[in-house]
Amino acid sequence: MLFKSLVLLAGTAAVAHGAPSAPGANDIPRDVLTQISSWGSNPTNLQLHLYAPSNLTGKPAIILALHGCFGSGPWHAEMTSQFQTLSSSRNFVVLYPSSINDNNCWDVASPASLTRDGGGDSTGLATIVRWATTTFNADPKKVFITGSSSGCMMSNVMASTYPDLFSAVSCYSGVPAGCLAGSPGSSPISADQTCANGGIRKTGEEWAEVVRGMAPLPEGKGKGKGKGKGKGNQGWKYPKVATWHGDNDFFVNYFHNFEEQLEQWGAIHGVEFTRNETNVPAAGYTKMVYGDGTKLVGYSASGVGHVVPQFEAVDLEWFGI
């Protein structure tokens, strides 16, 4: 185990109604996974742990790392321990929030969460990112998101609802943003299984319209055009995306959901498939390059099921840190 203990940080001063204040950077212990109890608006009662290295310097990067269903932030920290190991040399803070609702799955189905500032999980996560960026005086151009399973689904949602917060996404075993829209829940127990089974098919442009509908353009923002046949990002600058999936995943259907994610983000970025690179980044993996590979890539893992092991070093390379 990389971190030997958990530290609970309740805040250093009281505010109205006895609620703790959000801690400052100097109040947060280093080199240990720390629970933060207050950071601002938290409409769905998320929890938060974070890891900051002791040698953190000015303008660090921020990584938001999202667990899968039935998981938690500390559990995901264990599963992606190389992030903590590498944070010291790469100068970044890792945020490990936890969803405590719907079997600990992220809400990727309700209108509240699929709408910018709608008051759902996505709103709470955006608040966490903004708090951490301010608290650690982080570089706003170096904020990234990653996740597995439900965490990948939410990564796609966050890239859609808050595209201005993130520069890059790398996620594992997910579905397109908006695929579960209207489902009664987001967990394997509560959800309509049509999406997970690969039963929702759209063209790339139809999926792109789903993304654009989650975050209306702010006043004064024009409708820009992307390159290629797609209509581009229509005003927002969306983060670049890397998505990973095992071809033996029948829990979240590989054969359609992986393809649909690539079609969605290909249309957003206006790029099309150009080539495969075999045995990249490891034997049995195929890197699928779209355009020149700077906006969208996919990784297909041969013989791998739903749990694709996280390649933290590859993620950091994609993030540029």
Q: How far is Cα 77 from Cα 321, in angstroms, rounded to an integer?
A: 19
160 Cβ neighbours under 8 A, 6+ residues apart: 114, 177, 178, 210, 211, 214, 215, 238
CA separation, residue 293 to residues 95, 268, 285, 312 (Å): 27, 14, 16, 19
Cα–Cα dist 318/314, whole Å? 6
Q: Which of 87, 113, 122, 149 is catalytic?
A: 149
Collapsing DSSP states into helix, strand and coil, what is residue 241?
A: strand
Q: Are 261 and 243 in contact (CB under 8 A)?
A: yes
Q: In whole angstroms, give the CA distance from residue 46 to residue 101.
A: 9
The position carrying tokens 């399973």 is: 149
Contact between 7 and 35 under an 8 Å Cβ cutoff? The reply is yes
The letter for the amino acid at 313 is A
User: Closest Cα to residue 152, out of 252, 287, 237?
Assistant: 252
In the residue annotation, 149 being an active-site residue is answered as: yes
Catalytic positions are: 149
